[in-house]
């Protein structure tokens, strides 16, 4: 019995080695990369490279164990999710508000130690950021925001505040006063 389960597992393990989503790698020039429009000093570029870009760019440097399933699936999930949230190679063609907000997020995530993910810094010991590296990264993100602020009006970077709640309630009441239209929409209620 135990032997049979062992064989079944082994066969399953071999079989899943062939199910593999495409790697996140490209040789194409990244024309929308953040450094095409914003200054990225070398020290910051190397921090991004060693600690962020594996999940937030169009090029991942895979470790050897990425060749083993199901490890690759698990890594691939992180890469896809990370890229969806923020991709430094697809940055400059995003809306200005997006660009501005993502830098706020970078500052927050790095200060709070949320990024890079713990599951990443555990094997990638060089991605564990020192206080100096964290400072360099957050100051740079602030500089990107400052550049945006210097070149664009503030309301193109930050969504204007919605009207205050009392006003909204008033408007809603005005709009939803039952009238002929309302009754027509609800057949059977009169
Ligand atoms: C191992 C993959 C991985 C690495 C490395 C990594 N991230 Fe992430 N990042 C993710 C994933 C997955 C998410 C989305 C889920 C979450 O927030 O936990 C995310 C979310 C984020 C967000 C949130 C975006 C938003 O709008 O909410 C920011 C900002 C971010 N990462 C910045 C960084 C920075 C800066 C680094 C390097 C210092 C980094 N990440 C390293 C995988 C990674």
92/38 Cα distance (integer angstroms): 9
Please give the pLDDT value at position 189.
Answer: 43
What is the pLDDT at residue 167? 58
Atom of ligand 1 nearest to the CA of 120: 1
Mean pLDDT for the stretch of residues 111-127? 96
For the chain, the domains span 32-162
pLDDT, one tens digit per residue, over 80-95 is 999 999 999 999 999 9
- Mean pLDDT taken over the chain: 89
**Distance separating alpha carbons of residues 118 and 128, to the nearest angstrom:** 9
Q: How confident is the model at residue 119 (pLDDT cuts 50, 70, 90)?
A: very high
Share of the chain above pLDDT 90, in %: 77
Sole residue written with tokens 């993910």: 117
Q: What is the pLDDT of residue 102?
A: 98
Rounded distance between C-alpha atoms, residue 68 and residue 88, angstroms: 27
Q: What is the DSSP string of 50-73?
A: HHTHHHHSS-----GGGGSTTHHH
pLDDT in tens, 144-185: 999 999 999 999 999 888 777 765 555 555 555 554 444 444
What atom of ligand 1 comes closest to residue 114's alpha carbon? Answer: 18
Report the alpha-carbon distance of residue 39 to residue 36 in Å, rounded: 8
Q: What separation in Å is there between the alpha carbon of 77 and the centre of ligand 1?
A: 12
Token pair recorded at residue 137: 């990264």
Taking the centre of ligand 1 as the mean of its atom positions, its distance from the CA of residue 3, in whole angstroms, is 43
What is the distance between the alpha carbons of residues 32 and 164, in angstroms, rounded to a whole number?
A: 38
Q: Which pLDDT tens digit goes with each residue over 50-74? A: 999 999 999 999 999 999 999 999 9
Q: 115 CB under 6 A from ligand 1?
A: yes
Model confidence pLDDT, tens digit, residues 7-25? 999 999 999 898 888 999 9
pLDDT value of residue 71: 93
Number of residues that make up the chain: 190
Tokens of 107: 């500052």
pLDDT at 188 (0 to 100): 46
| Greater pLDDT, 110 or 182 | 110
Q: Helix 131-151 vs helix 42-51: angle between axes, to the nearest 10 degrees?
A: 110
Distance CA 126, CA 123 (A): 9
Residue 108 alpha carbon, nearest atom of ligand 1: 29
Please give the average per-residue pLDDT across 31-46, as a whole number. 97
Distance CA 113, CA 130 (A): 11
Answer yes or no: are the C-beta atoms of 37 and 102 closer than 8 Å.
no
């Amino acid at each position: 019995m135990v032997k049979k389960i062992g064989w079944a597992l082994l066969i399953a393990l071999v079989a899943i080695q062939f199910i593999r989503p495409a790697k996140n790698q490209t040789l194409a020039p990244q024309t929308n990369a953040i450094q095409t429009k914003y200054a990225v000093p070398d020290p910051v570029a190397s921090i991004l490279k060693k600690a962020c870009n594996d999940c937030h760019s169009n090029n991942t440097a895979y470790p050897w164990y990425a060749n083993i399933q199901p490890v690759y699936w698990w890594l691939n999930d992180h890469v896809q999710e990370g890229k969806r949230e923020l991709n430094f190679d697809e940055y400059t063609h995003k809306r200005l508000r997006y660009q501005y907000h993502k830098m706020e997020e970078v500052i927050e995530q790095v200060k709070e130690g949320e990024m890079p993910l713990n599951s990443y810094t555990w094997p990638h010991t060089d991605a564990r950021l020192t206080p100096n590296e964290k400072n360099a990264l957050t100051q740079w993100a602030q500089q990107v925001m400052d550049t945006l602020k210097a070149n664009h009006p503030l309301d193109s970077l930050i969504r204007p505040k919605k009207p205050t709640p009392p006003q909204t309630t008033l408007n809603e009441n005005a709009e939803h006063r039952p009238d002929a239209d309302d009754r027509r929409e609800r057949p059977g209620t009169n």
